[in-house]
Amino acid sequence: MNISPHFTWAEVTASRVAAARTINNALPDYLRPEAEAQAALMERIRAALGAPIIVSSWFRCGALNWAVRRPNAGPGIDNSGDHPKAAATDFTAPGFGAPLGICRLLAPRVDELGIGQLIYEGTWVHVSKNVPFKDINRVITLLPGGAGYAPGIVEV
Ligand SMILES: [Zn+2]
């Protein structure tokens, strides 16, 4: 079933990590409007890129978010960030090009497209409809080796 013209509800909850660890990543009903608003953002991004989007992570329940962020720890709960709110999507768009090029296209257009936060994460792009508390965190690059984030989109 589709959440929007080019995205499905299955894409909102699909997760390889959840499947591997038998975590139930079902979306709670109260987050459906959040997921729908995020899907509307993803439609605008798809149109801007002119290419299909491959979703790698969208909604993450607290147990899944913990497992993704701390793959070597035991079970736990982490409700921080925008994925547990269904308000963030990690994606690639191979038909358009590499994640760096996607970020360079989107960064100057965050206001126009309604992107709250854009993160270049190297092998994928993270976008959230939610604007971070600090403006400097709106467009950032995840640095390799646990070095944190750099402002803007920089080649890593
Ligand atoms: Zn993400």
How high is the pLDDT of residue 14? Answer: 96
The confidence band for 86, taking pLDDT boundaries of 50, 70 and 90, is: very high
Residue 44: name the closest of 153, 119, 129 by CA.
Answer: 129
How far, in Å, is the centroid of ligand 1 from the Cα of 127? 7
The per-residue pLDDT for range 36-45, each reduced to its tens digit, is 999 999 999 9
At residue 83 the predicted structure's pLDDT band, cuts being 50, 70 and 90, is: very high
What integer pLDDT is reported at residue 106 of this predicted model?
Answer: 98
Distance, CA 123 to ligand 1 centroid (Å)?
Answer: 11
Q: Which domains are seen in the chain, by residue range?
A: 2-151 (3.30.1380.10)
Q: What is the mean pLDDT of residues 54-58?
A: 97
Rounded distance between C-alpha atoms, residue 51 and residue 67, angstroms = 31
pLDDT in the model for residue 84: 98
pLDDT reported for residue 11: 98
For residue 8, name the pLDDT band (cuts at 50, 70, 90).
very high
| CA 34 / ligand 1 centre spacing (Å) | 15
The residues, ordered by sequence, that sit 6+ positions from 75 with a Cβ below 8 Å of its Cβ are 63, 66, 67
CA of 94 to the centre of ligand 1 (A): 18
- pLDDT tens for 87-100 read 999 999 999 999 99
Give the pLDDT band (50/70/90) at residue 102.
very high
With beta carbons less than 8 A apart as the criterion, state whether 105 and 127 touch: no
Q: Beta strands 117-120 and 139-142: pairing type?
A: parallel
Distance 39 CA to ligand 1 centre (A): 15
- pLDDT-based confidence at 111, cuts 50/70/90? very high
Question: Separation of 126 CA from ligand 1 center, angstroms?
Answer: 5
| 121 alpha carbon – ligand 1 mean position (Å) | 8
Per-residue model confidence (pLDDT) at position 30: 98
